[in-house]
Amino acid sequence: DSGSATLSFWDGTTYEQYLFTTITKPTFQATMEQDTVLQVTDGETAFFQGMLKNTSLQTRVYQVSIEDSLPENWSVSSGFGYEQLSPGVNLLSLSPGDSMDFYVQVSTAEGVSGTGSCKVVVSDTALSHTFEKQLTVNAQVTLPAFSMTVLDSMVDGKVGQSFELGGYVYNHTDSALTITMIRTQTDLPDNWSTSLCFDVCVTGEVDSVSSLIAPGDSLKYSVTFDTDTIPGTGWAMIQFYGVGTQDTIYQKFTVATSATGIDPDPSVKVKGFHLYGNYPNPFNPVTTIRYQLEKNARVKIDLFTIDGRFVTTLFTGIQNAGTHRVKVNAADLPSGVYYYRLKTESHTAFGRMTLIK
């Protein structure tokens, strides 16, 4: 730190006083270039950047150290310029007048809300000059306004048939939400066509259809492929977006036909990934979540409050393809609305449950 020291001398003959003052100043200047409190969503990395400058007349060695208090599964790292520091390496040598950027990044954990902090300490290794700055990261789980499941996205069948592919769209908000379904792109053989259904069905010339979904409710959607007698493969790209939200989902649907294909049986649904929801709902205090896996997968089901705070993991493990049930006992939770997220390597779906005690 800067400061001064004064020495006083007296002339024993003339009784005059002589004062000698030494002024000290730090050997470096350190600054942070942005806010020291950052808001991120779960799984994101918060990035803090600063600058370190040698203000002395000699080459000096500086040390950057981190003292952290972070939630479980969070991590922190630091570096100079674009080079990340190896574990245990935190020294930097600077010539007089030279400067170097340094950074600190805090990686949060997916599915976990929380607040973490770390203190950055910059010091001159030969002197007591130090610079300290407290950094804070707030991570919040952000639930989408809506989600969708796909019962079937790819079908093989016989030429000349019609094929209906689709699933369900879920509204996770507390108010009615308008979802628009748009056919954004197609690649179809000659004489093939597609049409959309989302509560109401529209003709093949219409590229979009919108429907209002009540809070916590779901609605079935479908894409129908009409084929001809020549074997071929066609696909359609479908976009879903919530009006008044920033949430958008794209899904590709594909149909392949051959002369020896299997005739589609409307009474038999192609098995795929699907979250059926929980029953009973509302409940007190036990309910059961039912879902279907299209293939063997690692499954994780997390529970969140209505404002996105992580509550607990309801299930985690590897399950075979087929239908599964997970029982939820909420005896220790207060009444209210909760969201649960079913996640595999290739799919994510959300459900909403209401606990009434």
Domain span holding position 293: 274-355
Q: Where are the alpha helices (DSSP H) in the chain?
A: none
pLDDT at 2: 46
In the sheet that holds 200-201, the strands lie side by side as 146-152, 162-171, 218-226, 193-198, 200-201
Domain boundary among 223, 258, 293: 258
Asked if residue 143 has pLDDT above 70, the reply is yes
Is 7 within the bounds of a domain? no
Whether the full predicted model's pTM is greater than 0.75, yes or no, is no
Q: Which helix (H) or strand (E) holds 311?
A: strand 310-319
Q: What percent of the chain has pLDDT over 90?
A: 41
Residue 32 and residue 129 in one domain: yes
Mean pLDDT of the chain: 85
**What gap in Å lies between CA 226 and CA 268, rounded to an integer?**
18
Question: Which among 140, 155, 176 is the end of a domain?
Answer: 140
- pLDDT over 70 percentage in the chain: 88
Whether residue 67 is contained in a domain is answered as yes
Q: What is the pLDDT of residues 120-139, one digit of tens each?
A: 999 998 887 889 999 999 98
- Both 151 and 240 in a single domain? yes
**158 and 232 within one domain:** yes
* Residue 287 β-bridge partners: 328
On whether both 254 and 322 belong to a single domain, the answer is: no
Question: Is 17 part of any domain?
Answer: no
Q: Tell me, what CATH number does 318's domain have? A: 2.60.40.3080
d(CA 257, CA 237): 18
Give the chain's domain count.
3
Same domain flag for 151 and 254: yes
Q: Residue 357: is its pLDDT beyond 70?
A: yes
Cis peptide before 215 (omega within 30 of 0): no
